């Protein structure tokens, strides 16, 4: 069923929401809060319904995708297929994709779903003769007999679902429940991660099989054609990418996107981040129907009143990761030891002002030793200069931080939070404060790491930079080389220090954004940043 897609919280309860609730109340709440999932399971479900989702494929005796409603019980829904008997009575068929290795058991959510479809049809004045579940992968139809108990239970389920989805607070995740391993919403629910401890069982949430598309060739133009993103440079087709493979788009400098492409990306819930060719994030766009509107309201209230605990953890993790990165790659043991002590001070800082003082002192120390990590003779580093960059290393760092910020904006938006309301960076500065907060812990292990590796292994050479008086920037070629180095780094898997499982750095950024969400919506006591060891 796809009726939930047209429903928002506050509207009539839908049959599919009730079915989600029967499976797990938290899943219904997440679905109603607008959390979209993009799993293979969902794709199989959608594909199995393809034949039933188009009303125009129906005949006189077989109706497809029939909308139903029950005015008394106040819910809406859709029947996949209704067969009309010669005497006018109806037979309801609900399509289900159940993997062949599982049995064709009619589960309680399926019984409830059928009971609600039948009750709605009766409420609309129809006569229902029988009801079935059709298991698409087994090609097997199973008749389901419904009793008064089923209808009573279904009615109670509508009320329970309504109460659940109208609550501002998400139900807690299930505890160590086998259902989670086959739940379509596990990747956004994070039922085990909420405990902020090493994870014994692993609900495998694969990194999405999609990619961030970087458009970095000046003068090129991207548009949509037949479900693909086409990139044309000087009138020649340079790339053609199926939109199913796109996770987000980063536009670098002078590249045009057509209105049709922008609309299609937003329709699919994909975000777009625009940067200048010198690595300044100038804006982003996201779908109007993002999830977790209530959590966003809580975020504003928390950002306004302040959350020192979150700010402390962002800075403590950042400084700790600077120490680890310097220990692994540089030659400054004293600085590493002092950075460790700064990280402890940050964790206990009594105010945001003092925290910023610790962060500044740590940054001075870290960048004072940054040059010890560089092996290529062409590159030297003495001090951090933001804009304009005074040397190639600073120009590369600026650019890598912009790429990281783009990923953090995407992660924050994907869970419905607002990049502009932060806890460490002030929202008064009109910058994407929460995305900047989240970026802190990833600066050293993702952005600095990509830059140091690209410089040390010759991917970036002195010819990849151009000097304009005192300002240094990457050339087009250098920018593409750094984007490639960054993408390699952010796609690399590592062992998450809190959960002890492998995931890519990009997935880790989204997990951390969701942990911030958990703190804000009350499903989690505290936030723990990623601290590399």
Tokens at 266, concatenated: 């937003």
Q: Which stretch binds ligand SF4 (CB under 6 A): 25-33, 193-201, 477-485, 486-494?
A: 25-33
Output the smallest distance, CB 473 to ligand SF4, in A. 46
Query: Binding to ligand SF4 by residue 17, rule CB under 6 A?
Result: no
Query: Binding to ligand SF4 by residue 170, rule CB under 6 A?
Result: no
Q: Do the Cβ atoms of 144 and 113 come closer than 8 Å?
A: no
Q: Do the Cβ atoms of 118 and 91 come closer than 8 Å?
A: no
Tokens at 486, concatenated: 């960054």
Q: 238 — phi, psi (to 5°)? A: -100, -25
Output the smallest distance, CB 388 to ligand SF4, in A. 48
Query: Binding to ligand SF4 by residue 511, rule CB under 6 A?
Result: no
Nearer to ligand SF4, 109 or 529 (CB): 109
Q: Do the Cβ atoms of 462 and 378 come closer than 8 Å?
A: yes
Q: Do the Cβ atoms of 145 and 8 come closer than 8 Å?
A: no
Cα dihedral across residues 112, 115, 121, 124: positive or negative: negative
Q: What is the Cα–Cα distance from 317 to 369, expressed in whole angstroms?
A: 19
Nearer to ligand SF4, 212 or 503 (CB): 503
- In Å, how far from its chain's centre is CA 460? 31
Query: Binding to ligand SF4 by residue 231, rule CB under 6 A?
Result: no
Three-state secondary structure string covering 355-399? HHHHHHHHHHHHHHHHHHHCCCCCCCCCCCCCCCCCCHHHHHHHH
Output the smallest distance, CB 173 to ligand SF4, in A. 4
Nearer to ligand SF4, 186 or 270 (CB): 186
Tokens at 22, concatenated: 């029967």
Task: Name which position in 32, 170, 180, 395 contacts ligand SF4 (CB under 6 A).
Answer: 180
What number of CA atoms fall less than 13 Å from residue 510's CA on the CB side? 21
Output the smallest distance, CB 506 to ligand SF4, in A. 21
Task: Name which position in 45, 77, 109, 173 contacts ligand SF4 (CB under 6 A).
Answer: 173
Query: Binding to ligand SF4 by residue 26, rule CB under 6 A?
Result: yes
Output the smallest distance, CB 477 to ligand SF4, in A. 45
Q: Which stretch binds ligand SF4 (CB under 6 A): 19-27, 76-84, 146-154, 221-229?
A: 19-27
Query: Binding to ligand SF4 by residue 189, rule CB under 6 A?
Result: yes
Query: Binding to ligand SF4 by residue 202, rule CB under 6 A?
Result: no
Total residues interacting with ligand SF4, rule: CB under 6 A: 14
Q: DSSP of 471-497, one letter per residue?
A: EEEE-HHHHHHHHHHHHHHHH-EEE-T
Query: Binding to ligand SF4 by residue 183, rule CB under 6 A?
Result: yes
Query: Binding to ligand SF4 by residue 19, rule CB under 6 A?
Result: no
The label of the residue with tokens 């990457």 reads 474
Output the smallest distance, CB 166 to ligand SF4, in A. 18
Query: Binding to ligand SF4 by residue 27, rule CB under 6 A?
Result: yes
Output the smallest distance, CB 284 to ligand SF4, in A. 28
- Of residues 414, 446, 445, the one with CA closest to residue 516: 414
Task: Name which position in 77, 191, 392, 529 contacts ligand SF4 (CB under 6 A).
Answer: 191
Quickly list H helices, 376-475: 392-414, 433-439, 449-456
Residues in touch with ligand SF4 (CB under 6 A): 24, 26-27, 30, 173-174, 177, 179-180, 183, 185-186, 189, 191
């Amino acid at each position: 069923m796809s009726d939930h897609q047209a429903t928002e919280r506050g509207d009539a309860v839908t049959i599919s929401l009730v079915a989600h609730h029967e499976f797990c109340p938290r899943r219904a709440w997440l679905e109603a809060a607008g959390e979209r999932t993009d799993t293979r399971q969902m794709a199989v479900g959608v594909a199995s319904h393809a034949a039933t989702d188009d009303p125009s494929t129906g005949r006189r005796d077989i109706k497809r995708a029939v909308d139903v409603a029950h005015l008394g019980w106040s819910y809406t829904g859709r029947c996949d297929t209704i067969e009309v008997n010669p005497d006018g009575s109806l037979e309801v068929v609900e399509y289900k994709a159940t993997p062949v290795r599982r049995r064709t058991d009619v589960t309680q959510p399926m019984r409830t779903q059928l009971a609600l479809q039948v009750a709605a049809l009766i409420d609309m004045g129809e006569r229902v003769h029988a009801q079935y579940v059709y298991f698409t992968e087994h090609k097997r139809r199973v008749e389901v007999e419904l009793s008064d108990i089923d209808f009573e239970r279904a009615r109670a389920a509508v009320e329970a679902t309504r109460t659940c989805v109208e609550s501002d607070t998400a139900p807690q995740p299930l505890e160590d429940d086998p259902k989670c391993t086959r739940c379509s919403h596990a990747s956004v629910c994070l039922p085990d991660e909420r405990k902020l401890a090493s994870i014994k069982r692993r609900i495998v949430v694969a990194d999405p099989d999609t990619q961030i598309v970087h458009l970095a060739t000046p003068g090129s133009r991207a548009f949509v054609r037949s479900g693909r993103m086409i990139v044309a440079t000087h009138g020649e087709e340079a790339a053609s990418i199926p939109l199913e493979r796109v996770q987000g788009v980063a536009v670098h400098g002078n590249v045009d996107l057509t209105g049709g492409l922008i609309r299609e990306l937003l329709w699919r819930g994909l975000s777009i981040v625009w940067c200048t060719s010198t690595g300044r994030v100038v804006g982003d766009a996201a779908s109007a129907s993002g999830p977790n509107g209530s959590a966003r309201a809580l975020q504003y209230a928390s950002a306004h009143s302040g959350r020192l605990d979150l700010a402390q953890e962002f800075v403590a993790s950042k400084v700790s990761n600077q120490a680890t990165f310097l220990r692994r790659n540089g030659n400054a043991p004293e600085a590493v030891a002092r950075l460790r002590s700064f990280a402890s001070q940050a964790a206990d800082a009594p105010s945001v002002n003092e925290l910023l003082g610790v962060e500044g002192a740590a940054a001075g120390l870290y960048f004072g030793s940054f040059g010890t990590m560089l092996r290529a003779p062409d590159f030297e580093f003495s001090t951090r200069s933001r804009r304009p960059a005074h040397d190639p290393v600073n120009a590369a760092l600026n650019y890598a931080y912009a790429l990281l910020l783009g990923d953090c904006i995407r992660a924050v938006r994907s869970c419905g939070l607002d990049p502009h309301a932060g806890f460490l960076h002030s929202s008064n500065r009109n910058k994407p404060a929460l995305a900047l907060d989240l970026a802190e812990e990833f600066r050293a292990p993702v952005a600095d790491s990509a830059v140091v590796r690209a410089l040390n292994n010759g991917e970036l050479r002195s010819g990849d930079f151009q000097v304009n008086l005192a300002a240094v920037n990457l050339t087009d070629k250098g920018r593409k080389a750094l984007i490639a180095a960054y993408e390699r780094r952010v796609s690399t898997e590592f062992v998450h220090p809190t959960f002890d499982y492998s995931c890519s750095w990009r997935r880790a950024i989204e997990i951390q954004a969701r942990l911030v969400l958990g703190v804000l919506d009350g499903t989690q006591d505290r936030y723990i940043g990623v601290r590399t060891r």
